[in-house]
């Protein structure tokens, strides 16, 4: 399994929230990790093979001040464990993280290659960034671009997408791979699992299959992947503490 943590904020830099969340997803297993933020119309991306302490060490060498960002821990499927294959993946003005397996990636990658696209990784995930970039060039709308991209994919996915032209928003989506949305004060979040965000919020929305969400610092809007129909999903109040989450919601391990 892989892990995703994302944040759309206002004033607080997101990097520590992302790193803390990734640490709380270590139980899912991983062989590489990375974080991307957006600031002043540019991406800042730090990736590393190996454990999160290696990523944390690299992060300590620079200041990431962006309030919009996304992090990922990867368990290798397509492509060996390496910094090049670690997420987030970037193409031009788009950054993507992805959990799952894109079954038709080889055909898509071959088609993109025939049109002049080059790739920097061995993963199935990198094609998503290329497809979103192309779709955004046609629509100028990030939500529409992600929808158009996902309709071309066969397989499973939980994804998060950033665009440098939109430093105030993130688009996420899922199919057969979990994503939860966390609701905060002038901040909103996304993660693969609740424990990643319990230090930030106890208010959660559980995204369902073939749904997208557009997150800003003040709103979370959910849509059908099929036709972008707006959807309503209940907000659930999670009463676990972070320590209880490690015990599956029980007060102590002996009850688990």
pLDDT band at 243 (very low <50, low <70, confident <90, very high): confident
CA distance 225 to 223: 6
Query: What pLDDT shows up at residue 75?
Result: 61
Domains of the chain: 3-255 (3.60.20.10)
SS3 211: strand
* pLDDT digits 0-9 by tens, 113-145: 999 999 999 899 999 999 999 999 999 999 999
Q: Which residue has the higher pLDDT, 80 or 10?
A: 10
| pLDDT tens-digit readout, 9-68 | 999 999 999 999 999 998 887 889 999 999 999 999 999 998 899 999 999 878 899 999
pLDDT score of 166:
97
The pLDDT value recorded for residue 139 is: 98
pLDDT value for 2: 82
pLDDT surpasses 80 at 208: yes
Q: Name the strand (E) or helix (H) holding 217.
A: none
Quote the pLDDT of residue 252. Answer: 37
CB 163 within 8 A of CB 93: yes
User: What is the value of pTM for the model shown?
Assistant: 0.93
Quick one: tokens of 54?
């290696």
Q: What is the DSSP letter of 155?
A: B
Tokens of 1: 């399994």
Phi, psi for residue 93 in degrees, rounded to 5? -100, 15
As a whole number of angstroms, the distance between CA 242 and CA 245 comes to 5
Q: What is the mean pLDDT of residues 147-155?
A: 98
């Amino acid at each position: 399994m892989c892990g995703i943590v994302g944040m759309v904020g206002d004033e607080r830099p997101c990097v520590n929230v992302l790193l803390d969340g990734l640490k709380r997803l270590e139980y899912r297993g991983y062989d590489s990790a990375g974080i991307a933020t957006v600031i002043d119309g540019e991406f800042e991306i730090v990736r590393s093979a190996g454990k999160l302490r290696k990523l944390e060490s690299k992060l300590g060498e620079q200041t990431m001040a962006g309030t919009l960002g996304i992090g990922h821990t990867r368990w290798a499927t397509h492509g060996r464990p390496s910094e090049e294959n670690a997420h987030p993946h970037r193409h031009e003005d788009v950054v993507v993280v992805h959990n799952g397996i894109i079954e038709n990636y080889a055909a898509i990658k071959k088609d993109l290659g025939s049109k002049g696209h080059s790739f920097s990784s061995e993963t199935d995930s990198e094609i998503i960034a290329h497809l979103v970039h192309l779709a955004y060039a046609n629509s100028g709308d990030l939500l529409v671009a992600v929808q158009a991209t996902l309709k071309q994919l066969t397989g499973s996915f939980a994804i998060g997408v950033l665009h440098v032209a939109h430093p105030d928003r993130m688009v996420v989506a899922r199919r057969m791979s979990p994503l939860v949305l966390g609701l905060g004060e002038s901040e909103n979040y996304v993660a693969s699992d609740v424990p990643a965000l319990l230090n930030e919020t106890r208010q959660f929305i559980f995204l369902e299959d073939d749904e997208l969400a557009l997150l800003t610092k003040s709103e979370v809007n959910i849509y059908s992947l099929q036709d972008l129909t707006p959807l309503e999903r209940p907000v659930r109040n999670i009463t676990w503490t972070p320590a209880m989450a490690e015990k599956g919601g029980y007060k102590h391990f002996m009850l688990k």
